[in-house]
Amino acid sequence: MTVKSISNLADTKPLQFRVGGMTCTGCAASLQKVLEQRDNVTTAVVTFSSGLATVDGTNLDPQDLARAIQGRGFSAELLTADHAHQHLSDSEQLQAEREAAWKRRAVVGLGLWLPLEILHWTATALHWHGTWMPWTMFTGALVILVFAGSAFFRSAWSAARQYTTNMDTLISLGATTAFVYSAIVLFLNLNQPMYFAEAAGLLGIVSLGHWLEARASAKAGSAVRELLRLQPETAEVLLPDGRSQTIPTSDVVIGARLQIRPGGRVPVDGVVVEGQSAVDQSIVTGESMPVEKRPGDQIVAGAMNTTGQLIVQVTCDGRNSTVTRIADMVQKAQSSRAPIQRLADSVSSVFVPTVLIIAALTLAGWWMAGQFSTGVISAVTVLIISCPCALGLATPMAVMVGTGAASRRGILIRSAETLERLGSATHVVFDKTGTLTAGSPEIQQLTPQPGTTDEELLQLAASAEAPSEHPLARAIVEEARNRHVELLPIQNFAAVPGRGVSCDIAGRNIVVERDEHATARVLANGQLLGTLQLADAPRLDAADAIRCLKGQDLQVRMLSGDRISAALSVGQLVGLESTEITADATPESKAQTIRSLGDHVVMVGDGINDAVALAASGLGVAMASGTNVAMEAASVVIPGDRVTAICELIDLSRATLRTIRQNLFFAFFYNALAIPLAAFAFLGSSGPLWAALAMGFSDVTVVGNALWLKRRLEHGHTHRHVR
C-alpha cells in the first residue's frame, strides 16, 4: 500500500463537529434527526462513542450548524483540516474522561445506596420504626439525586427545552417521581410506603451501566488509537549544517530530510534518498515480510526500520501521514450508520413518547382501581425498564468492533453500510491480472513479421506502452530496459481500457492491442509488425482464496480482458471451472456481468480496467497495490499481497452482521417482555430496582456480545497468522 495509493482514501469533505455534553445514544439520535431536517443537509451522522457529528450537503453554513447543535444543549466545535487529526488523538482522552465521570457517579450512587439499603432491610427485620430512619433515607437519596442524577437531569432538561424527549427523560422522570412521591409521604406523615432507596438505587445502577458502556466503547474503538500510536510523536530532522534536531512529528514539513535509525519507526511518509534497509510495514500495509528499501523507494509512516540507517525526504506534512489518514478513514467507518440501524432509529424516535403514555395509563389504571401507591411504583418501573439504551448500542458497538478488527488486518472499510452488505454477499468476482495473478508478467516470446526485428518490435511496443499503468504495459517496458532498448518519443497517446493503446512515433501511428492468438499485437499504420506473448503466474495464495470462498457457500467467478486460453490457464491453476471464467471482457462488459448477478456481488480488482466494474458492484474491493482509479471506485481496500484477505473480510462481515441482528433481537425482546411485567406490577414493590438491574443487564448483554465478537475476531486473526 503506497503513499500515493492511500492519499485519496479520505477524500470527502463533509463538515465535522466535536459535540460535547451527550450522555447517551439517545442524545446522538435526537441531534442527528435535528441536523437531517435542516435545509441543504444531505446526510448527518452523530456518534455518541466518538463525540462526532458529521454533516454533508450543499452550501453548508458551519456557524448555523453549530448554533443548531448548541440549541439542543450541546457544545459544538468545528474541526478543520488543520486539527481534525487532533480529534483522533484526543479520542482516548475524551473516552477516559467520560469513563471517569460515570465511574464517580456510580461509586457515589452505589456507595451511598448499598449502606442505605442494608440499613433499611435491617431496620425492617428488627422492627426499628424510629422517625430517624425515613429522614436518613431521604437525606442519602437526595445526595445521590444531586450528584449521580445531575447528568441525567441536564440531558432531559435540554431535550425538554426543545420539546422532545430522550432516554434520560425516562430515567429522570422515574427517579424524580419515586423521590418526590416518597418525600410527600414523609412530609405529610402519610401511612404509605416510601421509595427513597429505589430512587437512589436506580441512579446508582444506571450510572454503573453507563460506566461499563464507556469502558466497552473504549475497548471497541481501540483500533484508531492503536493506529495512531504507530506514528512516533517526534522526528529527527537533519539540518543544513549536518546536525540533527528532534522536533514534534506534527511540525514536520514537506521537503524536510529525516534520519531513521535502526529499530525506529518512520514518523512521516517520504522517499528514501540515502541508505538501504529492510523495513517492516506489515502493521500499515499488511505485507507479511520486511521490504527492502533503497534510494528512490517510497516509505510510509508507522513502518519499522529493522537493520540499516535511512535518510528520508518527506512528501507530506506531519499532520497528514498515511497512518493519520487510515485512522481517519477507520473512524469515519466506525461513526457511520448501517442501514439496519434505521430500524432501531425508527423505533427509538417514537419509543420514549409511547413509554410516557404507557406509564401515564398505568398510573391512571391503578389509581382508578384504588391503588394509587401501586400505580406510582408501577409507572416508575415502566419508565425505567423501558429505557431503550440497548437499542441505541446494538449496531454501533458491533460496527466499531468489526471495522476495528478489519483495520488490524490491513483491511480498510469505508462505511458501516459496506460492512453490512458484505455480510449478505452471494457472489465474489475477481479480475485476473494483478488480482489472482501477481501482476508481474514477463515476455515469453517475440514474433516479428518479415522485415521487422525483435529489437524494433520491442522498441515500438515499449515506447507506446510507456505511459500506461497496465501490468502488461509495465512488463513490456521493463523488458525493453533490460535489453537496453532505447524508448522513442511519442505523441498523441491514447488508451482504450480493455483494448490497447495508440500513439504517433516518427510519423507513424503505432497501435498495441489485444490479439486472439497472442497477448498483444503491434501495428504501424494498420500493418501488422508482430506479436508479443506474455505470461503471468497466479499469486501463491490465489487457490487458497478461491477454495476458502467456495467453502463459505459463495459463487466465485473470474473476469478477464485477456484471451480465453490465457484466462482458462490461470483459472485452472487457481481452482476455477471453465463455466466460472469470462474472458475477452471489456470494462463495459465486466460491469454488465456484475449487474446481471444481482445486488449482492463483491468485485475484486486492482486496475483502471476494473474501475467501472468496481463501481457497478457497489461492493468493490481494491487491492492496495493497484491504481488510484481502482481504489477511488472501491468500497474496501485489502492488502496488496494477500488475496485471502477477501475470505477474512467476508467472514468478519458475516460475524458482525450476525452480532448486530442478535443485539437488536435482545433489545426488542427485552422491552417487549419487560413493559407488561412492569405495568401490571408483577415486579412488586421493589419494581424500580429490578427494572434498573434488568435495564443494566440488557445493556451489558449487547455490549458483552459485541466484545465477544471482538475476542472471536482477534482469535481468528491470530490463528490465521500462526497457521
**Mean pLDDT of all residues in 427-447:** 86
Report residue 283's pLDDT band, with 50, 70 and 90 as the boundaries.
low
Report which of residues 524 and 705 the model is more confident about.
524
Find, among 551, 552, 560, the residue nearest to 593 by Cα: 560
Residue 464 φ then ψ, to 5°: -70, -35
Within this chain, do residues 108 and 210 fall inside the same structural domain, yes or no? yes
pLDDT at 337: 63
Q: What is the pLDDT of residue 361?
A: 94
| Per-residue model confidence (pLDDT) at position 289 | 62
| Residue bearing the bigger pLDDT, 87 or 307 | 307
Specify the CATH number for the domain of residue 421.
3.40.50.1000
CATH of the domain at 311: 2.70.150.10
CATH number at residue 39: 3.30.70.100
Find, among 414, 332, 424, the residue nearest to 655 by Cα. Answer: 424
pLDDT band at 88 (very low <50, low <70, confident <90, very high): low
* pLDDT above 90: residue 406: no
pLDDT number for residue 349: 64
- Examine the domain organization and report whether 206 and 267 are in the same domain: no
Rg (the chain; Cα; Å): 32
Does the structure show a pLDDT above 70 at 348? no
Same domain for 530 and 462: yes
Q: How confident is the model at residue 585 (pLDDT cuts 50, 70, 90)?
A: confident
Least confident of 156-165, 341-350, 369-378, 681-690: 341-350
Same domain, 160 and 106: yes
Specify the pTM: 0.65
Check if the beta carbon of residue 490 is closer than 8 Å to that of residue 466.
Answer: yes
Q: Is residue 60 part of a domain?
A: yes
Q: What is the DSSP letter of 268?
A: S
Q: Residue 388 has what pLDDT?
A: 64
- Tell me which residue of 88, 53, 94 sits closest to 74, measured CA to CA: 53
pLDDT for 428 equals 94
Total number of domains constituting the chain: 5
The DSSP symbol for 449 reads: P
- Looking at residues 21-43, what average pLDDT do you find? 80
C-alpha to C-alpha distance for 474 and 480, rounded to whole angstroms: 10
Residues 6 or more apart from 608 whose CB is under 8 A from it? 469, 470, 495, 497, 627, 629, 630
- Report the C-alpha gap between 35 and 27 in whole angstroms: 12
Q: Where residue 366 falls among pLDDT bands split at 50, 70, 90? A: very high
- Catalytic residue list: 431
pLDDT band at 461 (very low <50, low <70, confident <90, very high): very high
Same domain, 344 and 397: yes
Domain assignment present for residue 688? The answer is yes
587 and 602 fall within a common domain: yes
Same domain membership, residue 78 and residue 24: yes
The pairing of beta strand 500-505 with beta strand 491-496: antiparallel
Give the max Cα distance, the chain: 118
Rounded to 5 degrees, φ, ψ at 512 are -115, 115
pLDDT band for 650, please (50, 70, 90 cuts).
very high
Q: Give the integer Cα–Cα distance in Å for 684 and 329.
A: 50
In a domain, 586, yes or no: yes
Same domain, 107 and 204: yes
Stretch among 236-245, 283-292, 435-444 having the lowest mean pLDDT: 283-292
Residue-wise pLDDT tens digits, 252-267? 888 899 999 888 888 8
On whether residue 225 sits in a domain, the answer given is no
Domain boundary among 291, 323, 355: 323
Residues 251 and 393 in one domain: no
Q: Is residue 1 domain-resident? A: no
What's the mean pLDDT in 539-551?
A: 92
State which residues form the domain around 35. Answer: 10-82
DSSP 23-60: -SHHHHHHHHHHHHTSTTEEEEEEETTTTEEEEEESS-
Q: Which of 82, 116, 133 is the last residue of a domain?
A: 82
Q: Other CB atoms closer than 10 Å to residue 157's CB: what's the count?
A: 13
Q: Where is the domain boundary, 587, 612, 638?
A: 638
Cβ 318 vs Cβ 276: under 8 Å: no
What cell does 470 get? Answer: 497496465
Do 387 and 473 reside in the same domain of the chain? Answer: no
Residues 462 and 531 reside in one and the same domain:
yes
pLDDT surpassing 50 at residue 608:
yes
